[in-house]
Structure 1
Amino acid sequence: MPRLFTGLEIPEAVAAHLTTLRGGLSGARWIDPENYHVTLRFIGDVENGTAAEVHEALRRVRRGPFTLQLTGLDAFGGRKPHSIHASVQPSPALHALQAEHERLMQMIGLPPEGRRYSPHVMIARLRGVSAGSVAGYLEGRGGFMSMPFEVTQFVLFSARASTGGGPYVVEEEYPLEGG
């Protein structure tokens, strides 16, 4: 039973820039650069038949390439922070692609995603780190911005059941070539 999600891979140069943010925060478990990604739609643990339906649905996506940029760092969890991420600059093309994935997954019978879509690249998971320490870390790295990068495909990832952070395996690639 695979655990699946769709997403965008992060180019090597952008991943290398993200790795410069590592360190300086005790209690952080830094995500390996090869596992950096922007999630489009979490699918979850599904039977092989449903995985095949997911693949067939995703093959029907017809969208053109677009440009993304990472701008700024933030944390999830409020007073009990649990992760640090790089935010994705707002992109109508990204949101349209994500919305299409959501519609397709519901059409094959998967429940709707319960959370509002907030595109990001997770760079660290936190355990026992105070909100003050996280605020200090974020303040010291203010102004983070990646170079813009072209998104020419999305992928279907699989993950092993764990606490998150990878390793992730690309199961299928879907080119963005028609708009």
Structure 2
Amino acid sequence: MQRKIFIGIDLPFQAKKRLAQKLEKFADLPVKWIDPELFHVTLLFLGHIENEDVPDLCERVREAVADQPMFEISLNHIELGPDPNNPKLVWASGESNEELRELFARVDKAASSASVEKKTFRPHVTLGRLRHYAWMTLGEAPVIDVEMNLAVPVDAVHIFESSVEQGRTRYFSLEICPLQ
């Protein structure tokens, strides 16, 4: 059996709440909004992993991040992305600091045998996915450009399983790998 796995940083409740509040004025746009409970920063999407390989993956990631000091990241902009000229998402983007780049490198190396996604890491939280056809029929594209300063503590890395239950996406934290 396979499980759909990704590695990420879970956001604290207050950060999720603040992001959701910032989105209220865009509620009528043709966007499939993500449930705020699911807001996270993806470090690495692994795709489908064999069930028997998950414990080894968890152990490798846990060991890789165990001596990484805790730190903060800053989410500073809600915008269309990844390409504002051909958007697919509404996301909260952030700046990549040295600590985050180090954490990403450790996680990427620990999961290297399982990783299927080899993209440049851009820290962000996906807030919604554009309903492409409805978006294209709007005529003039709406502007989504919200400045903010949201500090997010990073004290652990989560290994998540993604599944769909009763038509709703759910993420389950299979392993919490604490930082130092």
- Verify same fold: TM over 0.5: yes
What is the aligned partner in structure 2 of residue 22 from structure 1? Answer: 24
Match of 2:38 among 22, 32, 35: 35
Change (3 A) 1:17 1:168: same
Change (3 A) 1:161 1:55: same
Secondary structure at the aligned position of 1:118 is classed as: coil
Shift of 1:73: 1.8
Amino acid at match of 2:69: G
Secondary structure at the aligned position of 1:117 is classed as: coil
What is the aligned partner in structure 2 of residue 119 from structure 1? Answer: 123
Q: Give, in whole Å, the separation in 2 of the partners of 1:29 and 1:54.
A: 32
Shift of 1:67: 0.9
Tell whether the 8 Å contact from 2:10 to 2:158 is kept in structure 1 after alignment: yes
Match of 1:73 among 78, 91, 96: 78
Shift of 1:94: 0.9
1:93 and 2:99 matched: yes
Shift of 1:112: 5.5
Tell whether the 8 Å contact from 2:164 to 2:170 is kept in structure 1 after alignment: no
1:63 and 2:65 matched: no
Q: Give, in whole Å, the separation in 1 of the partners of 2:63 and 2:92.
A: 30
Shift of 1:80: 3.8
Shift of 1:132: 4.0
Tell whether the 8 Å contact from 1:29 to 1:125 is kept in structure 2 after alignment: yes
Match of 2:157 among 154, 158, 167: 154
Shift of 1:26: 2.2
Q: Give, in whole Å, the separation in 1 of the partners of 2:115 and 2:29.
A: 37
More strand, by proportion:
2
Gaps in structure 2 of 5+ consecutive residues: none
Shift of 1:110: 2.5
What is the aligned partner in structure 2 of residue 6 from structure 1? Answer: 7
What TM-score does the superposition give when structure 1 sets the normalisation length? Answer: 0.84
Tell whether the 8 Å contact from 2:8 to 2:44 is kept in structure 1 after alignment: yes
Amino acid at match of 2:171: Y
Amino acid at match of 2:24: R
**What number of residue pairs does the alignment pair up?**
168
Tell whether the 8 Å contact from 1:3 to 1:161 is kept in structure 2 after alignment: no
Report the identity percentage. Answer: 24
Match of 2:53 among 40, 50, 53: 50
Question: Which deviates the most, 91-100 or 79-88?
Answer: 79-88
When the two chains are superposed, the root-mean-square deviation of aligned CA atoms in Å is 2.1
What TM-score does the superposition give when structure 2 sets the normalisation length? Answer: 0.84
